[in-house]
Each structure stands twice: as C-alpha cells, then as structure tokens.
Chains A and B, each alone.
Chain A
Amino acid sequence: MTNTPGQPTPALQSPEDTIREASHGSRLDPWTQSYAQRTAGMTTSEIRALFAVASRPEVVSLAGGMPYLSALPMDTVAATVAQMLATQGLTALQYGSGQGDPTLREQILEVMALEGISAHADDVVVTTGSQQALDLVTRIFIDPGDVVLAEAPSYVGALGVFASYQAYVAHVASDDDGLVPQALEDRINELLASGKRIKFLYTVPNFHNPAGTTLSLQRRPQILEICQRHDILVLEDNPYGLLGFEGDPPAAMRSMSDEGVVYLGTFSKTFAPGLRVGWALAPHAVREKLVLASESAILCPSAYAQMTVSAYLATCDWKGQIKVYRELYRERRDAMVESLGALLPQASWTHPEGGFYVWLTLPEGLNAKAMLPRAITERVAYVPGTAFFADGTGHRHVRLSYCYPEPDRIREGVRRFAGVVQSELELLETFGPYDVTAGRTTPSRSVQSPTPDLS
C-alpha cells in the first residue's frame, strides 16, 4: 500500500534523519492507481453532504424526488402481493426471463397505448427501473468520446450514466416549449463539422425533470425529422407522461416514429419506485442487444417485483390511482407556484403542467450552489442547477420539487427560500458581481445531487 514517496523539502530534513525517509505516503486507498478512467467523477462533494441535513424533519426539503406514496391504498396493495405470492410464489421467487415477464410486457403495451404508442410485446425489455434501461442503452451505443445530445438542463441521473460511459454530453438550447429545433440542427452541424460522432438525443419530453417544461406537440415531429436525417437515435425517457394536470397525455414521440426512437417507461411515479420496475421499448435489433446487455448486468429483472406490478395492474384500479396522484400533485404545484408568485417577484420560473418540478431562475449574479449552505442553515433544501448540466454551468438555476411535502410545508419552504434569496441579494449588493468559478476547489464532475431516498 505504498506510493512513490514525495520529495522531502531539503530545508526540513537533516542528513542524519535517514529513518524518516523510509516513511511512505499513504492514500488510505490501495487502489488509486487501479480504478478505471470512467470513475473520474465518483467523488464526495460538499453539496452531497449538505443533503444529509435535508433529511431532518426541521428542514423543509424541496430537493427530493420521492413520490407521495401515502396516497396508495396500502391494504389493497398488501393483499394483492400476498395473493400473488400464495398462488404464484414459485415463479415469483425464481430466476425469470432476461427480457422480463411476458404477462407484464403485454400489460405495458396497455399503459403505453394511453400515449398513442402501438407496439409488440416482443420489443419490450423490462429493467430494474428505467434508470437501468438508460444505462443499458448507453452501454450498447456509447464508446468513450461519443456524443450524446441532451436538453439544457437535463436529468441528473442520465448525466451520471453518460459520464460513467465517458460520453461527451452536448447540451442543446431549450425554452418553455422544450428543445428548440433550430438549436438542435445548429448544434448537430457544429459537432459533425468538428468530426464528432453523435449517437443519440436524450430527451424527457413531458413535464421535464428538472425543467418542468413539455416539448410542444408541434415540435415533436420536427425533432424526429432532424434526428432521422442525421441518423441520430432518439432516446425518449417518459416517467411523468401520465401525470399531467390538464387533459390527455401528450402523444409520445415513439407514437410518431417506430424505428428512430427507443422509449423508456417506468412504474416509479404511477405506482411505486421501490419495486424498481421500468422498461425500454426498442426496435427489434436494438432490443436483442438490450436483452443480452441486461442479462450480463443483472441476469434477469426481479420476478417478484414484476409480478407484483402485474398483479396490481390486473386487479387494482391503476388508472384511478393515477388520477389520485395527479390531483394531489396539482394541489402541490399550485401551492408552490402561488407562493413563489407572492414571495419571489425578483425570480422567474417555469410553470409545470404536470410532474414534480419547478425550474427557477435566480436574479442575476446569484449562485445557487454557493447559496445552498445558507439555505440549509435557514432549514430549506433545493437542488442547485449545476447538478443538471454536464458543462459546469447552471449556477443561476434551482430545481424545486413539490411532490412530497404537504402544501403548507411547501409554502413554508418557499418562504424560507425567499429569505435566503434576499440575504444573498444583500451580499451581492455588498460585494458586487463576481466570477462564480473563481478559485473554487470543487471540480464540477463530483456528485451534486441528493441520494434518491431524500424526500
């Protein structure tokens, strides 16, 4: 467990102290020279540590992403699980198919039909959460240095996956209606001109995490056309599509294109995340590789979890449950947006029509990352915008989540947050505008977001 000893400063060492030369530096980790290059971003950070405080009840956390599971009829769910085990226990507890339970794959088609998708169950691959599907798609497409196009901002979990495969993430300008088609076209041309290989566009078209925006129906075929013309796959990640507050779910991009889109779905927000059941819908050749990749990663997804979801879909009013969720998230969205309007006129934010998040832009000159410790002192937590960009930007933005706290807590959280913003503005007034990246000791590649179990 030794490294090359550093050179002792001559002035500090007298010639007779030869014994001292024998002491080698230790790094408390014998494997520092062994880790793969793809682990470069896997370090602790001050930001991640601050979220440990956010789990305390004294802190109003607007930083988490946990669905409000108290809305589930737990007795019914428990009975469903018990019944499933009693009648199908031997299957539920045994190894299953690498591609996933066939019954569930058929049921998933019904779920996707709500968004206009028609497909074949053979093209569905069940995964351990759509997070794993994201990982598998990246694994089969990305060589180090390959380009992934992403919205600006993009989902932090996806950025983590892309980093772990050493992809180059190119953010593309987005506005209140989602990805901007012309910006996509321009960025693609720019990247191709510099000799880069672009493999896919990662998009979260509905009730975006963190932006809260939805890609307009008008833009969807435009985006598809641009990508198709340049032979770029579209990876459509849709956890929130059924959680819109108004009207019917938007038509999925996959419903407009069979061959050019890999669609990712999940039961995390419509049912429950603890089961870890998601899926990829892919063209058959891609699907084949995904199955093989999944088998080598996990052998097979949890039969127990899949059959729980399957039993739930078959015997419980899952569509009714989605309606219950929608109403409760709508109420929370309203509480957040109303209190922001009343208390933070100096900021601006997106108005989500569904999902869990508001994306707020702070007054100019403020730095959401630098502000977080003060927010924690004031007992409110949020995720700084820097977590959602691969290029080190995002300091002026904040993701506020409203999915978990009760509406009154949300209002209290916004009140505290407004106080923090006010104190920061006073600091800014005193010290004037400054370069947010000057002299910072933390590189932007370290983990910047909370663990999934932060409410």
Chain B
Amino acid sequence: MRHVLVLAGGLSHERDVSLRSGRRVADALSRSGVEVHVRDVDQTLVDAIKSSPPEVVWPVLHGATGEDGALRDVLTSLGIAYVGSRPASCHLTWDKPVAKALLAAAGISTPAGVALSHATFRELGAPALLESVVDSLGLPLAVKPTRGGSALGLTIVRSAADLPSAMIAAYAYGDIALIEQFIAGTEVALSIVEDEHGHARSLPAVEIVPDGGVYSYEARYTAGATEFFTPARLSSSAAESAAAASLTAYRTLGHRHLSRVDLIIDADERPWFLEANVSPGMTETSLFPMAIEAAGLETSGVYAGIVERALTIN
C-alpha cells in the first residue's frame, strides 16, 4: 500500500482553499487504497518527514510557498519524491508576467499588459502613469497581483476612475500588480494530466459563467454562484485550439504530472492565455475535479495515477 503525505494549509492567503483541497485529495486517495496522512506546513514538518519518510509527498498548497517552488526545493534536498512541477517550473508559472512572456514567445496570444510595482507609481506619479496605461491598453482592464490565485485581489476596471482602488486592492496581496486588457469571450479552464507514458493529455475544457460576470473568490467557492458547462460550449475547432494552447503552456512552462491552464476564447475562436496553475484547486467546487468527472473518470483513480507518476520518475 502506498504511503502518501498530503500537505495542506500553509500560511498563504489561500490557506482555507488549500485545507479543503487537501481533505478532498486525501479522501479520494484513501478510496483508491492509498494510505494517506495530511499535515500542515509548519515548523514540525521537516522533522516529521525525516523521522517517518513517506513514499511521496503531494503538496496541495495554494499560494506562495506551495506554488513558487520553495517547498519543493526542500523536499528534493530531503530526497523525497513529490507530486507536481519542479521548482524552476513553479517559479516561471507563479509569476504571471513571466509565464505570459514565455507563452507569447511560444506563439500563444496573451492579453497585452504591464506589471508595475508600487515603487514605480511612487517614482513616476500615479495619475500620469495610470493615464498612460489607459491610453496604451484601453478599457476594460483586469488588475491583479502578479503572484496569487483564487482571484484574490482581482478587479475588472471599466472606467479609469476605478483604477486607483483596483491598484490598492491588488497591492494588498503583493508588491507588483499586473494590469492587462480584459478580453471578452468564453472563459475556459483546461486541466491536464499525464498518461502512464508521461504524455500530457488535456481533459475536457470546463466553461465558466459566473453570475456576477467575474470569476471572483466568492464565485469560485460558493456552490451555486457560477454556472459551468462541461464540455465547454465551443465549436470543435475552438475546442481543439484551446486544448492545443493548454498543452503548449504545459510544455513551455515545463509542468509535470498535472496542471490547469486558464484561457479566454474570443469571438474569432482565438485562445488567449491568462495564467497557469501548478497546484490547481481540488475542492468540491474546483475546476480540476470537474474536468475529471467530465472525462468520465473518478478522482480516486486519477489521483492514484498521479501518485504513481510521481514515483516513476523523480
């Protein structure tokens, strides 16, 4: 019987989501016959791993230490196999402007945008800078922290007067804010897993239609607040380009075992890359488990498969 240690919680803003994701993953793994323990990431973790090493660690952590690679570096130094992307790949993915730049270089469209720190605004003066941002990017705009998930700190700005408060909301979560063009279209999430040969496969796209028009934190984690279409209501050609774009993202960013890529498909069927997630949400309202179900699979089987992949290559 496999021994898996699921890490959930941590000290990030998404701790609550992580705790729920972790419980769901542990549950599903137990059902597939794996022995699972769940631990928080705190000062007792390293000793616990050393004294009773698990076969594999699955960090179901959202937010900085979980998704930026730091923890995974530690696991590598402890010689423990773990689920998910390696540290370098995490770093590239976690920083949205970096991920976008790499995807653009790989030929995938991504909304035009700028990443600006608070310090830059101080130096150049906010009114002048914001005006030039609106002049070059137009409206509406999406403002978000460059690093973060669960739509925390996200504001859709439809009028220039709303920009300052959007910047402040984004800076509450991090030092650098991304301002990008808001692309109208169909919002889809592409979840990716690897088959037994290590080839990345894109699961059916999930289309996201939140009641308020924005897939905010509340829309994500309040059951009933968002309508999902699985598979997404796309023509077969649009669905193919979406899947292809997601696999390009997976390869370009160097993901491993699993990930989720978020796209907008515009009226011309062009996929626009928003962001990717090396540690996608696994809660009862999350997109990744939804995609698994849409593919006619069970989370227990898929997660057990992911664990096996993590043990096959280190």
Contacts and interface: CB of A to CB of B under 8 A. Distances in A.
Interface of A: 3, 6, 8-9, 11-14, 17, 20-21, 23-29, 31-32, 43-46, 48-50, 52-53, 56, 58-59, 367, 370-374, 376-377, 426-432, 434-436, 438-442, 446
Nearest to A23: B229
Contacts, number: 168
B281 to A, nearest CB: 12
B126 A430 contact: yes
A439 B158 contact: yes
Contacts of B223: 27-29
Given A3-B227, A13-B235, A373 B172 contact: yes
Given A11-B267, A20-B233, A439 B13 contact: no
Contact of B231 (A8, A23, A58, A372): A23
Contacts of A20: 231, 233-235
DSSP majority for the B interface? mixed
Contact of A373 (B152, B154, B155, B234): B152
Interface stretch (B94-102, B159-167, B191-199): B159-167
Interface stretch (B14-22, B68-76, B85-93, B104-112): B14-22
A246 to B, nearest CB: 39
B218 interface: yes
Contacts of B237: 14
Contacts of B14: 49
Contact of A439 (B11, B162, B230, B285): B162
A373 B177 CA distance: 14
| Chain B interface extent, by class | 35 or more
Contacts of A49: 13-17, 217, 221
A52 B162 contact: no
Contacts of A429: 122
B212 interface: yes
A192 to B, nearest CB: 36
A399 B239 CA distance: 50
A12 B269 contact: yes
Given A12-B265, A432-B164, A53 B11 contact: yes
Most buried by B among A12, A25, A58, A373: A12
A176 B36 CA distance: 55
Given A52-B16, A441-B212, 7 more contacts: A11-B269, A48-B16, A49-B13, A427-B171, A432-B164, A439-B156, A441-B154
Given A25-B228, A441-B154, A53 B216 contact: no
Contact of A436 (B165, B224, B265): B165
Contacts of A23: 229-231, 233
Interface of B: 11-17, 19, 42, 118, 121-122, 126-127, 152-158, 161-162, 164-169, 171-173, 186, 209, 212, 214, 216-219, 221-231, 233-238, 265, 267-269, 284-285, 290
B235 A17 contact: yes
B30 to A, nearest CB: 22
Contacts of A439: 155-158, 162, 165-166
A12 B186 contact: yes
A44 B221 contact: yes
Nearest to B225: A43
Contacts of A48: 16
Given A9-B267, A12-B269, A17-B236, A434 B216 contact: no
Contacts of B155: 439-441
A434 B290 CA distance: 39
A314 to B, nearest CB: 43
Contacts of B221: 44, 49
B235 A14 contact: yes
Nearest to A49: B16
Contacts of A29: 223-224
B136 to A, nearest CB: 19
A352 B199 CA distance: 64
Contacts of A8: 233
Contact of A427 (B161, B168, B226, B238): B168
A367 B168 CA distance: 10
Most buried by A among B12, B216, B223, B267: B223
A8 B226 CA distance: 16
Contacts of A436: 165
A53 B118 contact: no
A8 B166 CA distance: 31
A193 B224 CA distance: 39
A442 B13 CA distance: 16
A254 B307 CA distance: 65
Contacts of A45: 217-218
A430 B162 contact: no
A445 to B, nearest CB: 11
Most buried by A among B173, B212, B233, B238: B233
Nearest to B265: A12
Most buried by B among A24, A367, A430: A430
A26 B233 contact: no
A310 B210 CA distance: 52
Contacts of B173: 373-374, 377
Contacts of A46: 152, 217-218
12 contacts: A14-B237, A20-B231, A23-B233, A26-B227, A28-B224, A28-B226, A49-B17, A373-B172, A427-B118, A434-B164, A438-B162, A441-B214
A51 B219 CA distance: 19
Contacts of A12: 186, 233-235, 238, 265, 267, 269
A122 B86 CA distance: 69
B209 A6 contact: yes
Nearest to B130: A431
Nearest to A428: B168
